[in-house]
Structures are given as structure tokens and as C-alpha cells.
Structure 1
Amino acid sequence: MKSIADKREQEKRIVAQMIQLYCKKQHHRSDLCPDCREVLSYAIDRSNHCPFMESKTFCSNCKVHCYRPEMRTKIREIMRFSGPRMLLYHPVLAVSHMLLTVKERMHKT
């Protein structure tokens, strides 16, 4: 079982890679644009202060939505774009994410 710190770091790595992929493909930049940098900073801050890290798998599965509405909209857009593309660019992370999602859904039923 992963420690809370390990889970937190993994979540931050995955979010960062998804935001980087989004910015590269949508904004045609090799580095993060100011808007994407702001979303990444916000997501990392939310992850650093999450009191539910021990029991949750992903923010989307959390009962408490701590993102401000405008940031929630932005991160959803990023996830919708980057999620399917992660299979091409980061296949191990994508498959791991899918397996955890399926496992959590099976556990809830």
C-alpha cells in the first residue's frame, strides 16, 4: 500500500503531465502558458491540502469538491482532452489510472 505522501506525489505528477500535454497540443507551446501554469499551481495546492488523500483515488471520485467553479471547469476541460491521449503519450500511467478506476467502481457496488 502506498503512503499518503506517495499518493500525493503521484497525483501531482499525473496532473502535471496531463496539463503539459493539453498546453502543448492546444496552445502549441513547449512550456506551460500562464493559464496552464495557474491551473497546475492550483491543482498542486489542492492536492497538498487534501484531507481525504488517504481514502480517495482521484479528485473526480471525491465527495467534496474543493476546486473553485472556474478552476473545476478548466481542469475538466484539460482532463477530457488529455485523458484519452495519455494512452499514446504516457501509456503506463493511463492503464494504471483505468485499473484503479475500475477497481474503485467494483468496490463501491
Structure 2
Amino acid sequence: MSRIEKEKKTIGLMINIYCKKKHNRRNELCKECNELLEYAHKRLDLCKFGNEKGFCSKCPIHCYKKDMKIKIKEVMKFSGPRLIIYSPIQFIKHIFE
């Protein structure tokens, strides 16, 4: 699996956790979270670093629009620590990448 695909899987899981807990959604994402996921996937697809990319927070190029950057940071802040509960294997993989 490519680095981009791994990132997509991780951000998808984080957005799912966030939407489930913050928006009380069970089986599908709310409209706002679905738009954020699609946006994140699009940004990952267009990443100029491709499989050589590091964490977005350490990237010299900030490709997220300001409002989406605020939303994704909120999701990561909330869901990051919860990954260990919902997907411990994904959490460990994410930490060591």
C-alpha cells in the first residue's frame, strides 16, 4: 500500500471517529464530515511529494484552505488519541511512520 493510501485510510478513520462522537452518526458521515474527507483525499492525491511525503504538519507547503485546515486540525486533535481505542494497530502504524 502506498504512503498516500495509508494516509487516506488514517484520515478516513479519524474523520469517522470524529463524526460518530461529535455528530452522533453511526453508519455514514454527515455532510460536513464527508466534504472534509473528500477534500483531504483530493489534497493527498495532489500532493507533490507523493510517496515521499511526511506528516502534513511538518510540510513546507500548506495546501489546505484556511477553513479546512482548522477543521482537519480539530478532527486530528480529537480523534488522534482515540485511535488507540478504536484501531490500536492503525495507531501504532501511524506513530512509527
Per the TM superposition, whether the score is higher than 0.5 is yes
Give the CA deviation at 1:54: 3.0
Partner of 2:88: 91
User: Is structure 2 residue 8 aligned with structure 1 residue 12?
Assistant: yes
User: Is structure 2 residue 29 aligned with structure 1 residue 29?
Assistant: no
The TM-score normalised by the length of structure 2 is: 0.93
Partner of 1:104: none
Please, which runs of 5 or more residues in structure 1 have no aligned partner?
Answer: 101-109
| Number of residue pairs the alignment of both structures matches | 96
* Identity between Structure 1 and Structure 2 (%): 44
For the residue of structure 2 that corresponds to 1:38, the secondary structure is: helix
Give the CA deviation at 1:61: 2.0
The TM-score normalised by the length of structure 1 is: 0.83
Partner of 1:55: 52
Alpha-carbon separation, structure 2, partners of 1:93 and 1:87: 8
Give the CA deviation at 1:10: 0.9
Please, which runs of 5 or more residues in structure 2 have no aligned partner?
Answer: none
**Aligned partner of 1:71 among 37, 58, 68:** 68
Q: Which has the higher contact order (CA 8 A, sep 6+)?
A: 2
Mark the structure with the bigger radius of gyration: 1
Structure 1 residue ranges (4+ consecutive) displaced by more than 6 angstroms after TM superposition: none
